Amino acid sequence: MALDLNQTISFSPLHRLQWEEAQQKDVILYPEGMVELNQSSAAILKLCDGKSTPDQIVSTLEQQFSATGLQKDVHQFLEIALNNGWVQQP
Amino acid sequence: MAGSNNLNITPPRWLLAELTYKCPLQCPYCSNPLDYAKYPQELSTEDWKRVLSQARKMGAVQLGLSGGEPLTRQDLPEIVQHARELGYYSNLITSGYGLNEDKIIALKEAGLDHIQVSIQASTQELNDHLAGTESYLHKREVARLVKKHDYPMVLCVVIHRENIHQMQQILEMAEELGADYLEVANTQYYGWAHVNRDQLLPTREQFLEAEEIAQAYKEKVVGKMKIYYVIPDFYEDRPKACMNGWGTTFLTIAPDGVALPCHSARELPGLDCPNVNDHSIEEIWHDSKAFNFFRGDDWMQEPCRSCDEKEKDKGGCRCQAYIMTGDMHSTDPVCSKSPQHHLIDEAVQSARNSALSTEEKPLVFRNSKNSKLHF
């Protein structure tokens, strides 16, 4: 599945994103499984609110972290997330 | 308890709560111990809540609510609600028996994350025969209701010689029912399945054909339905890394409160598995003899001890080593390097002879009457 830049993106209702105190990291939980996230992946997924498009997420992150040139990495990660079913597009 | 303040001990991540051994089904490959009827005591609601709280504090996050049939516990919604408040991701592992729309809604409101429904076969006749109970049509209805109420739906089908010829139909049934995940689990030969191995173990040809069908289907439904294919390790050269390493990740609590490093460990001799009525989860996990027994690799014999793959498969499964060789410290005989690998070849041959024979032994069904023959 390829990322559609014209569509909004939302976190999957069949998964749960949650901060784990014991592990000091965010994780994705799903039936009988768990993925541990690094800080940047977690930051991207938290912005998948069903209202923003991929590039709106990029600009929010660039503001949030006072950074530029994040587009390629964010697109790449969102595509992985899409293919794993963690996020979805209409 | 011995105090081993081992800093290398990782916290539990997975808690399997076997709420009860009671079950209306009689599947002849059940993973419960053969002598389960010897342990009729069950933890109280308060006990379970305490266990959940203690394990969560240590870092457990995935919770399996299993059995037996967990729906026979009337306090299931209360336990689920407590789990949700603690932040667990809770998985109900059920036969679907006794589940109706009201209960599905009540469990959703209590915070249940996911329902896994088992189906025994793709046809009513075979399903009901294997389950020992008329249940096929109800299971299909439950699967529909699980989807209707927005749970992720996982279908689990245990594969063996009686249903392996239905692989294609099983995959189609799962897709038709709208499963998000399908677990196609080849039988693991412990407990009841061990007793019935001659009647359940598929031949190599059957296994290869079914695997090919399942792998091809995986491609077809990519992005729609995830297929977890659990291999039957009798046809592999290397054993599975049991429980991701003993006492590293998984914690099972049996209905009577006995804590087990794996759900079959009750069959192993001399572990003195501790009970949650006597000790906290933290004490059990860190200090108990049972949980330290096969941690690390000091316990290994040759050929495991000097093997360059020991980090990968951890010497294989302790329960399989015990059940096949009589020595729980030995190399899992599935490994082709095991001096006792011939035991696997013999088991495969014995099952093959049984498959070709005209007078096959009947299956031994999992029920209290048959369980009482084992103690």
ipTM of the modeled complex: 0.88
Query: Which structural domains are found in chain A, ordered by start?
Result: 16-84 (1.10.10.1150)
Averaged confidence pLDDT in chain B: 94
- Closest among B246, B247, B253 to B51, alpha carbons compared: B253
> Which residues in chain B touch residue A37, judged by CB atoms under 8 angstroms apart?
none
CB contact under 8 A, B61 and A14: no
CB contact under 8 A, B152 and A14: yes
Hey, of B16, B61, B225, which one would you mutate to test binding to chain A, going by the most A CBs within 10 A of its CB? B61
Output phi, psi for A25, to 5 deg.
-155, 165
CB contact under 8 A, A29 and B91: no
Query: pLDDT at position B99, please?
Result: 94
CA–CA separation, B164 and B186 (whole Å): 9
Neighbouring C-beta atoms of residue B153, cutoff 10 Å: 27
* Sheet architecture: strand order including A25-30: A16-20, A25-30, A33-36
CB contact under 8 A, A23 and B116: no
A2 Cβ under 8 Å from any chain B Cβ? no
What pTM value is reported for the model?
Answer: 0.93
Chain centroid to Cα A39, Å, comes to: 11
pLDDT digits (tens, 9 = 90+) for B7-49: 589 999 999 999 999 999 999 999 999 999 999 999 999 999 9
Interface contacts A/B by beta carbons within 8 Å: 47
DSSP string, A25-61: EEEEEETTEEEE--HHHHHHHHT-BSS--HHHHHHHH
Hey, of B62, B146, B249, which one would you mutate to test binding to chain A, going by the most A CBs within 10 A of its CB? B62
CB contact under 8 A, B116 and A32: yes
A84 Cβ under 8 Å from any chain B Cβ? no
pLDDT digits (tens, 9 = 90+) for B89-135: 999 999 999 899 999 999 999 999 999 999 999 999 999 999 988 89
- Residue B4's pLDDT band, with cuts at 50, 70 and 90, is very low
CB contact under 8 A, A34 and B226: no
CB contact under 8 A, B116 and A29: no
